[in-house]
Structures are given as structure tokens and as C-alpha cells.
Structure 1
Amino acid sequence: MRAHARWRRRWPLRTRLALAGSAAVALVALGVCAAAFTIVRYELRHQLDLHLVQQVTLLQQQDRNRELGVIYGECGYLAAPACTQLVPAAPSADPASPYLLPVTATTRQVAAQRHGAYYTDIQVSGHPARMYTAPFAAGQAVQVALRSDAVEQGVRQAGELMAAVAGAGVLLAGALGYVVARTGLAPVARLTATAERIAATRDAGLRIELPPGPPPGRREDELTRLAGSFNTMLGELEQSVAARRRLVADASHELRTPLTALRTNAELLARADRLTPAQRERASTGLHRQLREVTGLVNDLIELARDEEPQPLLEQVRPAALVEHSVFVARDHWPAVAFDLVIAPDTVGLTLPGVPARLSRLLSNLLDNAAKFSPPGGPVEVTLTGSPRDPLELTVRDHGPGIAAEDLPYVFDRFYRASAARALPGSGLGLAMARQIAQAHSAVLTAERAPDGGALFRLRFPAARAIPCRPTDHQGDG
């Protein structure tokens, strides 16, 4: 049984589907032909039996005083009219001439009214015949026979015709099953071929050719939808592979400069006996600064590689307190920048689920980015609005050079730095990390050009809950 199952699984799906469909159609065709043959055979014999019954009825109506053994018709050839003979119940009353039709004990019982009428297939003078035995007069039975070779020939011809039709039906079913399987599984064949090419070439840019879209009001079939979903999956895979390659390339590019500087300063410190105290101090300071940059860059890459926030760390966070604390820290870190904070009164008692440390990192990245591009003494406007009925929205606006139109679609890409920002410190990961944290908290982070100059970042959270803040809720650290 297992060997049979393994042998069957080696067949292609198209072959198995064609065989299954052909077998089903062939069984239906054979069943229909067998039923038709049975009906034709029954009708032909039934017509012959009705003719025999009519002959007996006609005899009974014409004359019930016939002499025993009187024969009507050409019994030698069983031609019309039917061959007929009368048989008494008692053998002693038989006529002197022999009977031409077979007389049995059952015939005597019919004559004695102890048995019902019945039909018999017989041979007379070498010809097949159908005989009907029925009660006639008191103590007599009548036997009527007709040749049945014409009927048997008709049944045989009908059987041959039905067999030919059934054979043609089986062949047609096989051809149609193959065509249907080939046509119906064409998307699967294309999907398989594409998957095999991708596995062989590792090219995620390949796609399955899809047929034109269906007419209005009609839906695509399941296989076409499967092929479309596979193409979508290939697109996502291609983007993932491209993003991974771009991340590796960008990370290696960003790490090359600080690592080169680290190696240079390390080599200088290795020859500390040849350096002046000022040179040693400068090399040591540069080494520590570059170590901090490399450590921060590696930590940012690790955080970007994490797609979701750890669920056990989720808790109810008060956004108003968190924003206030983040602005307080930013003021201390950027003393030359004025941070203007506006918190709507309706947001003070609101809470939302999140990871406080990650949300703090999101806010600090937005504030650091705004402070980096703000002119000395220029304000950074931070506004938090919302209510229990409306989503929370945080806006951070600076009055710097703003975002160029060609840079706007890429500000959240990893390692992307506009031409105006390449001279400033940073790795180009801050905004990418901010968007990832926002998406992990079901929030939407967008960037736009402010109407009067500068950049405007808008962070929209889902609706928060207005519940009293428990002592375990995050209040902020400031």
C-alpha cells in the first residue's frame, strides 16, 4: 500500500488530475451506456411479451372450444401468426399428435389453475423463440410462441452500439481530462517553473506571467489569485533582499570611516613614547569619541533589526509626561536651541500601551533631528494634541532649511542623508529608527515641509484611553 502511494506521488499533478477526471467521466459514460442498454433490452423484450399476451387474449375472445393440440401458425418456422397449442391438465387427455412446443409439469399446473402464467425462452426448429404459457379454458393451458431472434439481434446490435459509444466516451474523457488538466494547471506550472528558476538563479526579480484581468463583474479564479499572491510574495522578497544588501553596504560604508580613524589613533597610541603629551591627549580623546560613535552605530543597527516591540515590556504610558520629559532632556543636550512645548489639557490624563524606553528613543530622535537643523537660537516647536475621542498627534517643527522635495520620499530610509546634512554629525539611522518604533506602536510618522520654512514631523497615535494613571504607570523621569 505504501509502495503504491509512493509510486502514485511520483506522477506529476497534471497526470494525476487528468487520470482522475478521465476516470470520473469514463465511469459516468459507462454507467449511462449500461443503463441505456438495459432499457433498450427491456423494451424490446417487453414488446415481444406484450405481443404474446395479445395473442392469448385474442384466442380467448375468439373461441374457447378448440380441440386439444390444434396448432395455429407456422410452428416449423415460427412465423406470424404465432405458433399456438392447447395443453390439458391431465396427460391422459393429450392428443394423438405430438406437441411442437415443450410441455412441462409447470404447463400442466397452469392448466390446472395451480400456477400463474409465465414466459420461457426456448428453441424450436433451431430458432430462438419466446413462449408464453397462460390458463385458457377449464383444465386447459394455452402456449403461444414467437421467434425472438430479431429481438436478440436488436439487443445485440444495441449492445455493440453502446459499447462503441462507451469506448468513444472513455477516449474523449481522457482527451478532455488531459486538456482540462493542462489548461487548468497552467498557472501552477508557471509558478513551479518560476520557483525552480529562482532557486537555481537566486533572482527574486522573476515573476509569473498572469492572464489579462477578468471582465467587470467577474472574479479571478483561485489559481490566478495564487499566482498573483506568489508574485506579491516575490516582490516583498525582492525588496527584502535589496534592503538587506543596501543595509549591509551602507553599514559597511558608515563603519569604514570610524574604524579607519580608530585604527589610526590606536597606531598612534601604540607609539606613545614618540608623542608629546598634547598629541597623546588628542589621540586618546579621538579614540574614545570614535568608539562611542561605533558603539552607537552598532546599537542602532541592532535596534533596527528588531521589527516588533517585546510584549512583556508593554505598559500604560502617559504621552504628555513622556513628551515633557523628552523636551526637558533635549533642552539640556541642546542648550543653544529653544524648545517651545505646548501640551493640550485634554491629553494630560490619557494613556496608551507602549514601551517607555522605545517611545523615549523615538521622541529624542525627532527632537535631536530638529535641533540639529535649527539655526542658533532658533525655536523648535513641539505640540501634543488629542482627546479621548480623537487620536493623539505630536508635531515637531524646526525653522531650519527644511526638506528638499527630492529628499522628502527618502528621509526615513536607513543611512539616507540629504546633501545639506552630510556635513553634520550622525549616521542617518535616527529617523529610520523613529519610524520603526512608531510602526511597532501602531502609530504613523510622516515628514513634510512647513509652510513658512523648516521641517515638520507629525506623529499620530491611535486613540488613547482616559483612565487614572496608576502609580506603576510611566510618569517620565523628569
Structure 2
Amino acid sequence: MSGRRLGAPWRRRRPLRTRLALAVTAAVALVAVGVCAAAFFVVRGALYEQLDLSLTQSARLAAQRNPDSGPATLAGECRFLAAPACAEVVPADPAHDPAAPYLLPVSPAARAVAAGTRAPYYTDIVHAGHPARMLTTDYTKGRALQVALRADTVEKGIAEAAWWLALAGAAGVLLAALLGHWVARTGLAPVTRIAATAERITATRDPRHRIELPPPGREDEITRLAGSFNTMLEELEQSVTAQRRLVADASHELRTPLTALRTNAELLARGERLTAEQRSRASLALGRQLREATGLVNDLIELARDEEPQLLVEQVRLAPLVEHCVGAARAHWPGVSFRVRAEEGVVVAGVPARLSRLLSNLLDNAAKFSPVGAEVEVDLAVRPGGGPEVTVRDHGPGIAAGDLPFVFDRFYRAGAARALPGSGLGLAMARQIARAHAAELVAEAAPGGGALFRLAFAAPG
């Protein structure tokens, strides 16, 4: 039994850089070896083609010089190129062979050429201890002509070509290895930076790290990946910052109501020392503070999701919804007058309960800042060439120019609002609901004083 644990991988997967380097090296090396091999066969074929051409010319010269020669040897020992070749005449019938032995080997194939039943051919032989190449061709009727030339120079040339091409192939493989390493290192450098950045973020839990990008004009797929990674890090940083700010703000906002709850609870625990009126006031205060704390916690839970729940969307008629929300606001703020102008027949796609929450938050905010007896104006109309729009205007102190960019931030409360009840989450929740309904909610200073909130829905498609 092997000492390897069952289920454990028997071989680790190589790193991506190593695999890429090996792939590039193998591809380039394969091309280099293929080119060298092809060059070897081309050189070998060219040398043999030259040798065969010399054999053909030698055979033609031998036939011209000895047109009527019988079966016999026409020339002696084979020579190199550009020298007389050894030649002999072979009859088709072995009975007509001369008494002297043939200089070149005679085979049945040569008899077949002499008889005219086979085409001329080339063959490699060894003659007198030297490599040679022989041509067997037709000579006269019933006879064949064999011509041979030594192939020492050809074999030597082929061997030298093989040596140099093998050396070139080895150099090509080495160059391929260096090139593969360089390509892997250069091509995966951005990926390495991405991995290093991710590891730093994992180790430090700090999403402020970014990947350094090349200058403009040198973008590629890896650069786009790094840019997307940086964008993701920015979103992550914003999300982490928002969560930390939400926790810090929530702990700060919850500290006061929890302290008041604990105080009233401790006071009621000593009920025997209190009068009936004091116990009643403490009980009422405790209930009110519990409701405020519960509402604050519920608002925090909804805002912490950072998105609207996927509820059933339906076609909502805005005029009845506005009237309903204004009626509830009148009951909650009896000292404030509400005036409504609502255009009938306006319909949007949305969730009625969430839109009601949005409008209620806007109306509560306007009523909270309105002096006693002042009027809150609510208008519903369709913008020319656009979609429905709901405006809520109060005649209170208005919003300072320095506060306008922050009125929708969580827990943000302007200086004039710090003494008023509320947690600072209503407008933040209103904008979140508006965005979930593809609507835009903005705040601006109203002409003549006061604040104006404008809820603009997208035009129907």
C-alpha cells in the first residue's frame, strides 16, 4: 500500500505561469523542430535529385557511346559526381549473361526492366565498401542498362545538414523556453498584480488598495480586467464605508433612546415611591420611547439591506394614494394644513405599500418643519413630455444651501432640525424607495421660503 492518503490529489496542479510557459515553449519548439525536419528532407531530396540527374546523364552518355554493346561491363569502378560512372548491360534472359561476373548487383527487377515489363528505377547499393546509387533503365530490346555513382559526397552532405539542423533545432528549443518564460512573466504580470492586491486585501481587510494600470493607449483584455477589479474594489470600499458609518451612526442614535428607556424602566421599578400620576407619566414615556426605538430599529433594518425587497408590482393610481397619505398626515399633524391638487388618471408601476411609505415620509418631514397653521402644498401632475411628478412643499425655514447635498444621507440632520423629533432616516428611506421605482427624488429651496421635494417618475415606455 502506498503511503499516500486516500482521496488526496496525487499530483499538484502546476501554477498558471508554469503552464503558460510550457505551452508557449512546446508550441514554438514544435514549430522549430518541424521547420528543421522539413529543411532536412528538402536538403536530402535536393541532393538525391542532383545525384539522380547525374545518373540519368551518365546513362544517356553510355548508351550513345556503346549503342550496340552486348551484355558486358561498359565502365570500371564507380566514381564521384562529374566523373565516369560504372555501367553494365544486363540481358533479360540469364542464359545470355557473359562469363565474367557483373560489376553491379543484378536482381530480378533488372531482368524485368530488360524484358520491358517494369519501368526504370533507382536503388541504393554498396559498391566496393562505399555507398552508391544505381539507375536501372531500358537499353535496347531485351537488355537493360545499369549505371552507378558513388554517393559518399551526398551522404556526407546529408549528415552535415542533419548536424547543423539538429543544432539549429536545439537552439530553437532553448529560445522557445526563454521566450515562453518571458511571455508567461510579461503576459501574466497584471494577473499577478491582481492576485497580490486580493491577497493584501484579505490580509489587511482594507479595500482601499488598487491595481496600478498602464498609461492610456496600452489597454488590453488584462488591463480591462484590472480596471473592472478596481471598480469592484471602489464599490466594495464604498459598501464597507457605508456599513461602518451605518453602525457608528446607529449606535450613536440608539444610545439616547436606550438610555431613556433604561431610566424610565428603573423609575417604574421603584413604583412604590411614585405617585399614581408619576407612574402614569413614566409608563406613557416608556411606551413612546419603545415605539420610537422600534421604529428606528425597523428603519435601520430596511436601510441596511441597501435595496428594496422584491414585492409584487402592480399598476398604482397615484391620485387616490396621495389622498390617502395626506389624510393620514392630517390625523397625525392636526396643527398643519394640507392642500392637495391631484390630477386624476395618473398611473405608475410600483408597490402601493412602499409608495405610501415614501409619500408619508415626505409629508411627515414637511409637517415637522411647518409652523402651526402653515400650509403644506401637495401637487400631482404629469410633466409635459415626461412622466408623473409629485411635489411636496412646506413654508418652514427651508434648507440651507450647504445642507442640500446631504439631506438624503442616513442620520443627517441639519442644524435647524436637531431639536425636532426624528432619527434622520426618513428621507434616506424615501430616496431608496424612489430609486427602486426608477424615480428621482430631489430637494430644493422653494421660491419665497420653505423646502420643495420633487418626486419624478419615468415616462411610460
Would you say 1:277 and 2:276 are equivalent positions?
A: yes
Deviations 1:204-241 (A, max 9, x none): 111111111226xxxx3221111111111111111111
Amino acid in the other structure paired with 2:231: T
Contact 1:76 1:125 in 2 (8 A): no
Give the Cα separation in 2 of the matches to 1:40 and 1:52: 18
- Equivalent pairs: percent with the same residue? 68
Task: Give the match for residue 475 of structure 1.
Answer: none
Q: Provide the alpha-carbon RMSD of the alignment.
A: 2.2
- Could you tell me which residue of structure 2 aligns to residue 392 of structure 1? 388
Q: TM-score, normalised by structure 2?
A: 0.93
Q: How far apart are residue 310 of structure 1 and its match?
A: 4.3
Which runs of 5 or more structure 1 residues have no equivalent in the other structure? Answer: 466-478
How many residue pairs get matched? 455
Residue identity in the other structure for 1:278: E
Aligned to 1:434: 430
Alpha-carbon offset, residue 421 of structure 1? 0.9
Q: Structure 2 CA distance, aligned partners of 1:287 and 1:112?
A: 129
Matched with 1:201 is 204
**Which 10-residue stretch deviates more, 260-269 or 279-288?**
279-288
Among 343, 349, 356, the residue aligned to 1:353: 349
1:159, CA displacement in angstroms?
Answer: 1.2
Any conservation in 2 of the 1:309–1:355 contact (CA below 8 Å)? no
Q: Among residues 110, 114, 120, which one is paired with 2:113 in the alignment? A: 110
> Hey, what does 2:262 align to over in structure 1?
263
Residues 305-364 of structure 1: per-residue CA shift (max 9 Å, x gap): 3444444533221011111221222223223323222223xxx22322222111111001
Whether 1:406 aligns to 2:409 is: no
From 183, 191, 194, the counterpart of 1:191 = 194
1:211 to 2:214 alignment: yes
- Kindly tell me: are residues 75 and 35 of structure 1, through their superposed partners in 2, closer, same or farther at Cα, counting changes over 3 Å? closer
Alignment of 1:300 with 2:296, yes or no, is no
SS at match of 2:137: strand
1:368-383 equivalence runs, <5 A: 368-383=364-379
Aligned to 2:359: 363
How many angstroms does 1:37 deviate by? 1.0
1:119-138 correspondence runs (5 A): 119-138=122-141
Q: Which residue of 22, 43, 48 corresponds with 2:51?
A: 48
In structure 2, the residue corresponding to 1:224 is in which secondary structure? Answer: helix
Q: Does residue 85 of structure 2 align to residue 85 of structure 1?
A: no
Report the CA distance between 1:45 and its aligned residue: 0.6
1:41 to partner: Cα distance: 0.9
CA apart distance, 1:127 = 1.4
* Segment of structure 1 superposing worse, 415-424 or 49-58: 49-58
Question: Partner residue of 2:316?
Answer: 317
The residue type paired with residue 275 of structure 1 is L
* 1:223 partner amino acid: I
Cα distance in structure 1, aligned partners of 2:214 and 2:79: 75
Secondary structure, aligned partner of 2:83: strand
Range 105-114 or range 261-270, more displaced: 105-114
Supply the distance in 1 between the matched residues of 2:320 and 2:17 (Cα, whole angstroms): 65
8 Å CA contact 1:75–1:100 kept in 2: the answer is: no
C-alpha distance in 2 between matches for 1:312 and 1:275: 49
Q: Distance in 2 between matches of 1:435 and 1:77?
A: 99
- Which residue identity is paired with 2:394? D
User: Are 2:408 and 1:417 aligned?
Assistant: no
Structure 1 residue 343 corresponds to structure 2 residue 342: yes
What is the one-letter code of the residue matched to 2:358?
Answer: L
Instruction: Quote the Cα distance in structure 2 between the aligned partners of 1:77 and 1:155.
Output: 16
The one-letter code matched in structure 1 to 2:226 is A
Aligned-partner residue type, residue 259 of structure 1 = L
SS where residue 131 of structure 2 aligns? strand
Q: Secondary structure at the match of 2:85?
A: strand
In the superposition, the TM-score normalised over structure 1's length comes to: 0.89
CA positional deviation for 1:9? 5.0
Q: CA deviation at 1:77?
A: 7.3
Counterpart Cα distance in 1 of 2:297 and 2:261:
15
> What is the rounded CA distance, in whole Å, between the counterparts of 1:206 and 1:93 in structure 2?
99
